[in-house]
Amino acid sequence: TESYKDYTRKSIRKEYSSLDDFLTKWNSAKRKAAIIEELEEYGIELPKLAEEVGKDYGDFDLICHVAFDQPPLTRQERANNVKKRNYFTKYGEQAQAVLKALLEKYEDEGITTIENRKVLKMRPFDSLGTPVEIINGIFGGKAKYESALHELEQELFAQDQA
């Protein structure tokens, strides 16, 4: 019988023939959760894979490491790389607070948590306002909030970090 890791590698490579194919899909996806759900349909459970590879790695690094032999970074390492690049400075103070809190949520819980707007009802966001106040008042609307979140994700998964 093949290991779960080998099964995962084969299944992901059936869907994405190369790392570039996967990166293109990952970076263009509005919701990373859609890719994760797609993999689940193939029987790939990333939490189960994390048990084998390491619980500190995010879904992106688990996939890239197992399927394409890329050196993985922990969620904390990815978050620290974003902080070092100081990309937050282009936003106002309140928006920076929201984005930094999203980065911390990613570090603790992963990408699917920050993609879900329900995260804005959790701590520490509840101290910054309601989800509507955060999206409309701080970011100036849903499109601008989603754009800022997408940019944060681009920063997290930039390939020049290794």
Where in the chain are the domains? 4-68, 75-161
CB 144 within 8 Å of CB 99 = no
CA 81 – CA 77 distance, rounded (Å): 6
pLDDT value for 162: 41
Q: For residue 71, what pLDDT is reported?
A: 95
Coil, strand, or helix at residue 30? coil
Backbone conformation region of residue 47, classed left if phi is above 0, alpha if psi is from -120 to 50, else beta:
alpha
Q: What share of the chain is helix, strand, coil (3-state, %, to 5)?
A: 75, 0, 25
Beta carbons within 10 angstroms of residue 112's beta carbon: 17
What pLDDT, on the 0 to 100 scale, is given for residue 87?
A: 87
Predicted model pTM: 0.91
Q: Which residues contact 136 (CB under 8 A, 6 or more apart)?
A: 142
From first to last of the 162 residues of the chain, give the pLDDT tens digit: 678 999 999 999 999 999 999 999 999 999 999 999 999 999 999 999 999 999 999 999 999 999 999 999 999 999 999 999 888 999 999 999 999 999 999 999 999 999 999 999 999 999 999 999 999 999 999 999 999 999 999 999 987 544
